[in-house]
Structure 1
Amino acid sequence: MKKKLVGLVSLLAVTGLFLGACGNKAEDKKEETKTSSVAKEEKTIKVKNSEGKEIEVPKNPKQVVVFDMGSLDTINQLGAGDSVVGAPLKTLPKYLSSFDSVESAGGIKEPDLEKINAMKPELIIISGRQQDSQADLEKIAPTLYLGVDSSKTWESTKQNIETLGTIFDKEDVAKEKITKLETSIKEVKEKAEKSKEKGLVTLVNEGSLSAYGEGSRFGIIHDTFGVALADDKIEASTHGQEVSYEYVLEKNPDILFVIDRTKAIGGDDSKNNVAENELVKQTNAGKNDKVISLTPDVWYLSGGGIESTELMIEDVLKAFK
């Protein structure tokens, strides 16, 4: 009887040890799953693109292909430029020449999918020019669309800077840069409003002129920098409103801003000297030496970034010195 009792106690002890071991294994597995889940959360982050769609992207990616020039300069200004492995080099603005050494990702409107795939990017950043290729790019890596909303230029630029600051874990730097830009914007806006001068924004391409007003791709001059409109009836469109030199004389702007598209992308610019046009010389802008040439590659190829906004402010301030 005593032997049976001892055997029963031993059996219960072994059973207890076995169940305890199983319980510990289950707990360990549960903890391991929890740790793995937390690690995954730290590796990715959800942000909104410029269309308000939530996208899951890597946190602090080390291999990034960037097509949007504003995003490229913002990444650089945030101190994360080393993460960029590819960009459309043929249309790289001069102020971003430090990225000449990265791989070519194709044309600004025609991404080279094969080359991009070979780069093994963790993230691809695009703007409106690449939207036709977005579905194909998404098959390679998470693709984030960061464009600028022309109806609220600074607000969308600011949002893009904040988004990139979050992705690259540079929120404090982004906040500091935004504060500095807002101080500069306030300065140029005060000068523009105080002058009461009316401005006209034009783009010249091999002698042909287009005008841009509020809500256009160059609307930042009016809606953010505070320059009054010489013509408030200009249609807001991507390519602007085609106009003549007679139109410029009729509107008689106090300031005539000129973006030379040909100088930005190449071509015959022999007919692009707007300031020397006889009709332009008769305008207030022509008479007062206020035909302002805006930096072509910044305005036509870039915009919406930290450095490009700084350069745009410097350009517009020329009209009030």
Structure 2
Amino acid sequence: MVRKLSLFLIMAVLAIVTAACGTETSQEANGSDEGSKTESNEITIKHQLGETPVKVNPEKVVVFDFGVLDTLDKLGVKVTGVPQVNIPQYLSKFEDSKYENVGSLKEPDFEKISEIEPELIIISGRQQEAYEELSEIAPTIFMGVDTSKYMQSFKENTKTLGEIFGKEEEAEKELASIEESIAALKEKATADGSNGLIILANEGSLSAYGSASRFGIVHDVFGVKPADDKIEVSTHGQSVSSEYIVDKDPDYLFVIDRGAAVEGESSAKQIIENELVKKTKAYKNDHIVYLNPDYWYLSGGGLVSVAEMVKEIEKGLE
């Protein structure tokens, strides 16, 4: 009897110890899961200026690039602060006081940004020099479009934003739609065989842009043959004259009016359609196409702007 009781007690003790071990193992497993979950709430973004750990689904976001702002708005992502100077008309809702004004594109308001305590700051070329100072305030990533590989850069940026904000499926869907429309435009442009020249009108001066340039998407992606394949690649374009336009005599002349985008006053038509340019095929055939500077000059690289660029060139080729 004593022996049976002792055996019972031993078995009972073993059961308790086993249960305790099981609980401990379970707690350790839970702790490991929580650790993985915590790690998965942060991703490292590689960009032109470095590598930055970024919180997934950040709640307070400051955006300095209008193309990125365009994409986030299309994906339904809320932002906290934007530079409220020269906002493209189609993004004018961001001029509302419910959004914090964080300065201008070239002069960030560091004090205001610090007050916001953002969880993420997104910049591009115009704010590049302020990267270090902004990084001291919050995680900062560079998301400018590389015009030498426009579509690759644009798609990478869009997918990265989708990853950060949990909008991967939506981003892929929008990109697929744009790629489909680009394929149709390229087929049309190639079949047409006409050439084109891209001009930026800035007050009284003219600049030409070719392949791999800021507006080179017209040639490199949309398939419009360049009227001049030797245009100097630079941020501000190659300075040209009306005589140059006449000499190249393009089938299509695509014009971007910087004054309309920055100053709010359009003057491109008066500059472009002078007696010299009226001698070109583009003018005679009514093929001077004035492009919307909001999409082309202020907010390139956005889901909406790129889609609208495709539509404008397609309509211009009709």
Does structure 1 residue 288 correspond to structure 2 residue 282? no
Mapping for residues 126-141 of structure 1, pairs under 5 Å: 126-141=123-138
Tell which deviates more after alignment, 262-271 or 141-150. Answer: 262-271
Distance (Å, rounded) in 1 between the aligned partners of 2:305 and 2:54 = 25
TM normalised by structure 2 equals 0.89
Q: Partner letter of residue 79 of structure 1?
A: G
1:206–1:267 contact (8 Å) kept in structure 2 = no
Q: Partner letter of residue 85 of structure 2?
A: K
Tell which deviates more after alignment, 32-41 or 197-206. Answer: 32-41
Does structure 1 residue 175 correspond to structure 2 residue 172? yes
Distance (Å, rounded) in 1 between the aligned partners of 2:107 and 2:70 = 21
Distance (Å, rounded) in 2 between the aligned partners of 1:270 and 1:181 = 31
Tell which deviates more after alignment, 71-80 or 130-139. Answer: 71-80
Distance (Å, rounded) in 2 between the aligned partners of 1:125 and 1:269 = 30
Structure 2 residue matching 1:199: 3-state secondary structure: strand
1:260–1:296 contact (8 Å) kept in structure 2 = yes
Distance (Å, rounded) in 2 between the aligned partners of 1:267 and 1:66 = 22
Aligned equivalent of 2:7: none
Does structure 1 residue 62 correspond to structure 2 residue 30? no
Mapping for residues 30-179 of structure 1, pairs under 5 Å: 30-31=28-29, 33-49=31-47, 51=48, 53-80=50-77, 82=78, 84-101=79-96, 102-179=99-176
Distance change >3 Å, CA 52–CA 131, structure 1 → 2: closer
Q: Partner letter of residue 91 of structure 1?
A: N
Q: Give the total of aligned pairs.
A: 311
Aligned equivalent of 1:207: 204
Distance (Å, rounded) in 1 between the aligned partners of 2:265 and 2:162 = 40
Identity over the aligned pairs, expressed in percent?
49
Distance change >3 Å, CA 241–CA 130, structure 1 → 2: same
Equivalent of 2:275, from 274, 278, 282?
278
Structure 2 residue matching 1:273: 3-state secondary structure: helix
Q: Deviations for 1:84-109, whole angstroms, at most 9, x for unmatched residues? A: 00011112111111222211111101
Structure 1: give runs of 5+ residues left out of the alignment. 1-11
- TM-superposed CA distance for 1:42, in Å, is 2.9
Structure 2: give runs of 5+ residues left out of the alignment. 1-9
TM normalised by structure 1 equals 0.88
- TM-superposed CA distance for 1:34, in Å, is 2.4
Structure 1 residue matching 2:80: 3-state secondary structure: strand
